[in-house]
Amino acid sequence: MISGDTIVAAATPLGFSGVAVIRVSGPKSFSLAEKVTRKKKTKNRRASLATIYNKENKKIDSAIVTLFASPASYTGEDTLEISSHGNPALVDAIISTLCFFGARLAEPGEFTYRAFLNGKIDLIQAEAVASLIKSKSIESVKEQQKIIDGQLSTDINKMRLTLINLVSSFEHQLDISEEDLNPSFETIAKRSLSKLYKDIRKVSNTFVMGKMLNLGVRIVITGPPNVGKSSLLNILCGQKKAIVSAKPGTTRDVISAELILDGVPLMFFDTAGIRETVEPVEKEGVSRALEQKEKADLIISVSDKPEFLLDGQAQQLSLFVLNKADLHRNPPDKPIIHISCKNKTGISALLLEIKNKLRIKPLSSDAALLSTPRQQRAVKLCGEHVARSLALFKPSGIELEILSLELRGGIEALDVLLGKTTPEDIINNIFKSLCVGK
């Protein structure tokens, strides 16, 4: 990505629509507006109707043109937005004209990247922009909007400020002398660190729910052939995604379907029945089923036999389901969920157990959640530095130099999280995950 020049891209998806938005950002934005509209004066932050002309001075379209002067724009640069009719040919003609007059096509995420470089947002907020665009539920949208509004950044910056103040006080004491420590200094410092550690743990623990809202959950339905796995998938997603047959081994490939449960996207995977086989296609299906099990966040093991054994998933989160419960007079006394796909009974109990197993809870209106593994790693690393700092408080006294060094490590972890000292390759990967025009 190159900063300093003027970029252009469609901010709305390619296709036919009532309106399409073309976004321009950079030092030439205002002059480009004059060239394509033939208007010398367009008021800042005032939407106005204008005719858009091409380089041969021929009309392309009538559009709404809005200018945003730096720094009061999304990117912090002079910005132009053109709302034209949503015909791909018109959009392409307008963008081509803007490029002819000096703009260049933007790379994925480049508008948001410029907003980051110009201090309009930090790296946490930039990630939230990408997550907001891809959100699959209104609950996820609300959480990402909190982060874009700066709620999570505020919490992180408060922790960072506490660390900076502690380091400053420790290094001030070093300048005086460790032997002249105020008796209450150690007590106050330890109390402050303990509270900070609790705050860090509290933020870190939000990742479980934040990850599920943002990235979803993979749930694999597995078990022997012909026990009702495909029927269960169809019931859960409310449509006939998988072929159901009385013949064992019908499902050969992995079939997926999505369900939103309390705002969390659950992706269910129906897999081939697991059994010993020499038939090549079915053997490949079994192999793929085993691969899916390894990637699962939750496994639903289905059987239709009362003697069903609870084994095979000791290392993974699992639920055990006995199908065809209407045929079993004496259900086994085991932690098994009894369902009947034929009669569609027990499904509500299964969904409740899925929620309990995944710890899906009602969202707080206050807390902003960590939603990416990068965020969680940074906060966890900061917590580790603070935990080691607390361990340095001993009856024999504290070594202020080592303590200060540990806390500086915590500050560095939060700086990486916010984007103050983040390696360039990580930053580029984050912005390239955004769509063109954002």
Burial group, residue 415, by CB count within 10 angstroms (0-12, 13-18, 19+)? middle
Q: What is the mean pLDDT of residues 393-402?
A: 79
Whole-Å CA distances, 253 to 242, 256, 273, 321: 10, 10, 10, 22
431 band by pLDDT with thresholds 50, 70 and 90? confident
Q: Pick from 255, 166, 156, 146: which is nearest to 203 by CA?
A: 156
Which position has the higher pLDDT, 57 or 276?
Answer: 57
Q: Pick from 301, 299, 303: which is nearest to 316 by CA?
A: 299
Residue 316 has which token pair?
A: 């993974």
Model confidence, pTM: 0.82
Longest dimension (CA), the chain: 85
119 band by pLDDT with thresholds 50, 70 and 90? very high
The rounded distance, in Å, linking the Cα atoms of 419 and 416 is 5
- The torsion defined by the Cα of 41, 47, 49 and 50, in degrees rounded to 10, comes to 40
Residues of the chain by 3-state class (helix, strand, coil), percent to 5? 45, 20, 35
Q: Is the pLDDT of residue 290 over 70?
A: no
Q: What is the predicted pLDDT for the residue at 286? A: 61
pLDDT tens sequence across 18-55: 999 999 999 999 999 999 999 877 789 999 999 999 99
Q: What is the DSSP pairing of strand 104-105 with strand 7-10?
A: parallel
* Contact by Cβ (8 Å): 329, 181: no
* Contact by Cβ (8 Å): 421, 369: no
The rounded distance, in Å, linking the Cα atoms of 73 and 41 is 19
Q: What is the mean pLDDT of the chain?
A: 85
Q: What is the DSSP pairing of strand 79-86 with strand 298-303?
A: unpaired
What residue spans of 177-297 are helical by DSSP H? 183-204, 207-215, 229-237, 280-295
Domains of the chain as residue ranges with CATH: 7-121 (3.30.1360.120), 128-206+368-419 (1.20.120.430), 216-358 (3.40.50.300)
Q: Is the pLDDT of residue 359 over 80?
A: yes
pLDDT tens sequence across 214-273: 999 999 888 887 788 888 888 888 877 655 555 554 455 567 788 899 999 999 888 765
Q: What is the DSSP pairing of strand 264-270 with strand 104-105?
A: unpaired
Q: What is the predicted pLDDT for the residue at 138? A: 92
* Contact by Cβ (8 Å): 8, 22: yes
Q: What is the predicted pLDDT for the residue at 93? A: 97
* Contact by Cβ (8 Å): 242, 270: yes
Q: Pick from 251, 260, 196: which is nearest to 227 by CA?
A: 251
Q: Is the pLDDT of residue 313 over 70?
A: no
Residue 302 has which token pair?
A: 């289905």
Residue 164 has which token pair?
A: 């900076």
Q: Is the pLDDT of residue 312 over 50?
A: no
